[in-house]
Every structure is written in structure tokens, then in C-alpha cells.
Chain A
Amino acid sequence: MASIEAKTGPMTHSRLPQRGLSRHARLALVWLALAAVPFVVPNAYWISLANLALINLVLIASLNLLMGYGGQISLAHAGFFGLGAYASGILNVRYGVPPWAGLPAAAVVAGLGALLIGIPALRLRGHYLAMATLGWNAILVVFFTQLVGFTGGPNGLLGVEPFSIFGHALDTEAKAFPLAWAVAFFVMLAISNLLASRIGRSIRAVATNELGAQSLGIDSFRTKLAVFVLSAGMAGIAGSLYVHINQYASPETFGIAPSIMLLVMVAIGGAGTFYGPMLGALIYTAVPQILLDYEDAELMLFGLGLLVVLILFPRGLAGIPAALTGLVRRRRA
């Protein structure tokens, strides 16, 4: 009898955002708490870190949608982030398009960038998306660096305008915070909504057992493509936020190294958990600051920390409570 089971394994034990206190209420509470950040931190530098953390959250949460729930690995997430940043930034600097129009444009351009590579790569089973996106990010970086006339090349894109509301420019960290805060909220809300619908279930089903999902009428190719494009589109939104808050962008921010780091942060936070990316974003933003004092040892400490977490908590930091209760239970038994 045939006995080889299909192993199109999921990335993790993906779970729906919990019930109980409704998921909307839960998210709203968390965001209300976050709104206090600018009032409790000591200075503007900290607010700039908070803004960065929120942008990173959009990146990591959208990658988590693809990886933790959709079971697909993208190594071009920073590249899509860059597509969004350059799309929005170039439209603004070279064509005078206001940032508010650049924001949706960034999502569309990054989404198209994903569509282009996703259509051929996702028709195939296996690791092809990971490989294809790795190559794709490399190509994108070459374009970011070499198309000097548009992107400003290695020197970066200068003179990007900030967002403005009723003619009032959001040109300080404190003024930009509410925007980053709101955009991150809507992205998290959208992800939560999607996961709680039949589409979210089909995304997880395809990741868990593609054949089983197809046999129930789910078009696995379109499902994977949709999540991939959506996730890239969200990275594009993060890119637009980044370029207009920073008023600058340069190619190294969007290379393969950050793409790999984002992947790691999804895992560290807890792939396939809704709030795990918040931990991932916090660590991604804070660790370079904390380790700054250690200069040359910074990388070493970071790498070691990473290994320790991966070995001790393969489900990520969000999985620690579960891991601990499991441990206690085993001790008792």
C-alpha cells in the first residue's frame, strides 16, 4: 500500500487569533496602550525608535502572514519594502506626487513586484519561492543602486517630503508617530480580519496540506499568490511610511541581509502567532541600540542570542508560555 504521506509541512502550529475578549477589542486595547509611548519616553530619539519599531512591525507582521500562516518563505521582503519606499519616494521627489498618493502606489508597485515573481515561482511545489525571491531581491538591489537617475544610487534618494495633514507637515518624530501608529494598527487589523475569514482558513489549509486543500475546492496557486502579493503590498506600505518619515532612502536598507533578518525576526517572535511579530519588531529595533555599546562584539552577541532562542524556543518568544507550561506538566508527571 502506498504510504508516503505528503509533507508540504506548515511552518508552525498556526493558530487563529484567540476568541474570548473579541479580537477587535484585544487589538484596540493593545493599540491604546501603544498610544502612550510618546508621552512616557524621555526624548525624541526614543520616539524615532518607536516609529521605526512600528514600521518594522508592519514588515514582520506581513511576512508572518506569508510565512507563519501561509507556509511560504520569501527572502525578498526587504526588496518589496524598498520597492514601496522608492516608488513613493521617487513619485514624490521626481514627479511631485504627494505622499498620501504615494502610499497606495507603494503598495501597488510592491504587490506587482511580487506578482511578477510569484506567478512563475508559485506554480511549483517546494522551496522555489524562497530561491526565486532571493534572486529577485538581489536583482532589485542592483536596480536600486544602479538606476542613479531615479533612485539617487548609492548616495540615496534625497529631498523626500514628509506626510502632511491639512497643509501641516508631519516633519518631526513626534508628529509622525500617530501616523505610523495608525497605519500599523490598520495593517494588524486587516491581517486579523483576513485570518478570521474563510480566506484565512484556506491560507492555513494550503500551508498545512496542499493536496487536502485542493481536494476541497481551494485553488492553492491563487491562494498562495494572493497571500504573497498581499504580504508584499503591506511591505510596500511600510516602505512608503519609511521614506516619508525618514525623508531619505538608500539601497542597503533593502538588501538580502535585512530580508534574512526579517525572516529571523518572524521566527524569533513566533511564526504563526498573531502578536509574535510585535516581539519580533521590538527585538529587531531594540537590539542594535542595546548592543551599540559593545562595538565589535555586537554581532557575536546577537548571533549567540539568536541561536539560544532558536534552540531553546523553536516556536519563538511568543511560544515561551506554552513551552514553560509544557515543561512544568512534564516535571509533575
Chain B
Amino acid sequence: MNTPRRTDDLLEVENLTCRFAGVTAVDDLSFRVKAGEIKAVIGPNGAGKSTLFNMIAGVTRPTDGTIKFDGARIDRLPTHARARRGIARTFQNLQIFREMSVLENVMVGRHLRGRTTTLSGLLHLPSVGAEERAMEAAAMALLERFGLAAKAHAPAGSLAFGQMKVLELARALASEPRLLLLDEPAAGLPHAEADKMAETIRDLNRDGMTVLLVEHNMRMVMSLSHDILVLNNGRRIAEGTAEDVRRHPEVLSAYLGEEAADA
């Protein structure tokens, strides 16, 4: 892949490979995400989508290949350093802080926007109190926006599954990221909630958020995405608009074939 670099590419993935003992989860994959777009990654179970996310977020180390964010290589950075650069994510298996309150979950999400150090925290310098109030206000505003304000002081572990998914999204947004990685945000949600989630993602994008989305809900993918990347066995089998992808013969056989078999 030697496409020339476009200045509006926020994320550039080149020849990315990830091998586990016996399995090549992601195989020599290259693609780009433009600033301001919603790009979807789809593919059957085990195609390597979550592994791809984990490599971008820094949870899994690539066997080979490079990842650039905003023009700079990030593939050697630890997870928290990538978050600092502006990459936020949600997880396929919720990773919320169950024992902390809903509000605190979102406040942790705002961690990067704070300045308090261990020392200033211990001494409770005046700046700390001000920062706490600002963080709480910002977190509360997010909770209101996502309809969780009434639950602000409940333990996060007591929320319904759908609310936890929303909370994880709110928490990721609290850091005001530049790229949002969403791993199956609608999985397990009833129709109405899934539609609401899609609407939320569309709104975020309209406000300028770049989104990389993994999702099995085809209706959602087709209606939201500007661009779709189809994976199978860790390799790209198609890339393009919803229309392009829908007509692609390999997609039909590899992906939709499986859907038909599922039904």
C-alpha cells in the first residue's frame, strides 16, 4: 500500500499484522480514517475486529506494521499515552468501574483534563477544589445529555446493561477525544436503544467527532458509515461506501453468507 498521505487522515494503519499462537488474527492490513468521518469495520465473528481495536488502543502489541495518529507513530506507545494523544474507546466487554458511582466513572473519564498531582492532592491546594467542582460539573453535563443524571450517585454496577453501554460511551467522551473507537456499541441492546445509540453516534459525528466503529448491526452500519472496511480472517476483502460493499461478491459470500446461515 503506497497511497500518498492525505493531510486529513487522522489514523493511518499500514501493513498491520497480529499473530497469536496458531492464529493470524489480523493479516497485513492497511487502511486510513479521515478526520471527521465515521468508518465502520465489519466482518464475521473472529474476523479480527477487536484485535485491530486493541492494537490501535495499545492493549495488544502488533506483530508487524505501523499505526500513525495525526501523522505520528503511536504503535510503540502504552495505552494511556495513546489516550493522552486523543484516542478514546469503548469495549466489546464492558470495562466500567462497577464499584464506583456513575458520576465518578465519568469523572475518571475526565482524568486527562485535570492537573492535580499527588502532592497537590495530598495538600488539598485551592486549585484542587476548583478542579473537582469543574470536573463534576462537566461530568454531570454529560450524564444529563445521555439521560443518566438521575442515576449519577448509583453504583455503576447496578445499572441496566443498556445504561452501562451508554455510560461507557459518556466516560470515553469525557476526555474530549479526537478519535472514538466503538467496539459493538449496539450489541445486546433492544431495537429502540440501538437506534438511539446510532442517533447519538450520528450527533457526535455531526459535531466533528471521528469515529471508528465495529458493529454487527447492519442497519446501523449502513445508515451511519461514510466508509466501510470488511474483514475476513484478518484480511481486508472490501472497502468503500455502503453501496460498494453491499454489492461486493466476496462480501456476499464470506459475510452475508454467514448471516444467512445464522438465520
Q: Which A residues lie at the B interface, using CB under 8 A?
A: 1-6, 10, 12-14, 16, 190, 193-194, 196-202, 204-205, 208-209, 211-220, 226, 230
Contacts and interface: CB of A to CB of B under 8 A. Distances in A.
A208 B80 contact: no
Interface string B130-153: 011001000000000000000000
A286 B72 CA distance: 61
B99 A14 contact: yes
B97 A215 contact: no
Interface centre among A198, A202, A208 (most CB of B within 10 A): A198
Nearest to A210: B95
B106 to A, nearest CB: 10
A209 B94 CA distance: 10
A199 B99 contact: no
28 contacts: A2-B50, A2-B93, A5-B95, A12-B99, A13-B155, A190-B123, A193-B123, A194-B122, A197-B116, A198-B107, A199-B121, A200-B121, A201-B108, A201-B111, A202-B108, A202-B111, A208-B98, A212-B95, A212-B97, A214-B83, A215-B79, A215-B80, A215-B91, A215-B172, A216-B80, A216-B175, A219-B81, A230-B118
B216 to A, nearest CB: 9
A105 B84 CA distance: 35
Given A202-B111, A214-B80, A217-B175, A3 B97 contact: no
Nearest to B89: A215
Nearest 3 pairs of A and B residues by beta carbon: A217-B83, A197-B121, A212-B95
B116 A220 contact: no
Given A193-B128, A216-B172, 16 more contacts: A4-B93, A5-B95, A10-B99, A16-B104, A190-B123, A197-B132, A198-B132, A198-B135, A208-B98, A212-B96, A214-B79, A215-B59, A215-B88, A216-B83, A216-B111, A230-B122
B78 interface: yes
Contacts of A205: 97, 100, 108, 111
B211 to A, nearest CB: 16
B111 A218 contact: yes
Contacts of A216: 80, 83, 88, 108-109, 111-112, 171-172, 174-175
Contact of B104 (A5, A6, A201): A201
Contacts of A204: 97, 99-100, 104
A219 B88 contact: no
B111 A198 contact: yes
B117 to A, nearest CB: 7
Interface of B: 45, 50, 57-59, 78-81, 83-84, 88-89, 91-100, 104, 107-112, 114, 116-118, 120-124, 128, 131-132, 135, 155, 171-172, 174-175
Contact of A208 (B50, B93, B97, B132): B97
Contacts of A12: 99
Contacts of A193: 121-124, 128
Contacts, number: 128
A241 to B, nearest CB: 18
A219 B128 CA distance: 20
Contacts of B79: 211, 214-215
B85 to A, nearest CB: 9
A2 B95 CA distance: 13
Contacts of A194: 118, 121-122
B177 to A, nearest CB: 9
A218 B132 contact: no
Contacts of B172: 215-216
A13 B99 contact: yes
Given A198-B107, A199-B116, A219 B95 contact: no
Contacts of A3: 93
Contacts of B155: 13
A218 B116 CA distance: 13
Contacts of A201: 100, 104, 107-108, 111
Contacts of A10: 99
B109 A198 contact: no
